């Protein structure tokens, strides 16, 4: 299992378009990728669930990655967050 925390920098937070792009990125990997805010956790391959977290600019989220390619997935998802969110 790999985990990292990230503070959202995008002015609009995570809305439908970035949630969809995040899901598309996550589908590249075999590992299960979850995002948690406060006490709620969702699978990032489900954009509507991600939107349900109501992540705003400045919010901190925790990403948890479990699976066969978790090291590569963690690097890819971290890069996605840094460049898109």
Could you give the residue numbers annotated as active site? 15
Distance, in Å, from the CA atom of 72 to the CA atom of 13, rounded to the nearest integer, reads 25
- DSSP letter at 39 equals T
Distance, in Å, from the CA atom of 52 to the CA atom of 78, rounded to the nearest integer, reads 21
Distance, in Å, from the CA atom of 16 to the CA atom of 22, rounded to the nearest integer, reads 10
């Amino acid at each position: 299992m790999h985990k990292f925390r990230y503070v959202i920098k995008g002015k609009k937070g995570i809305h439908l378009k970035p949630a969809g792009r995040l899901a598309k990125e996550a589908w590249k990997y075999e590992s299960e990728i979850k995002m948690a805010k406060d006490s709620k956790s969702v699978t990032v391959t489900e954009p509507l669930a991600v939107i349900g977290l109501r992540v705003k600019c400045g919010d901190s989220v925790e990403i948890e990655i479990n699976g066969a390619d978790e090291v590569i997935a963690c690097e890819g998802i971290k890069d996605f967050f840094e460049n898109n969110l």
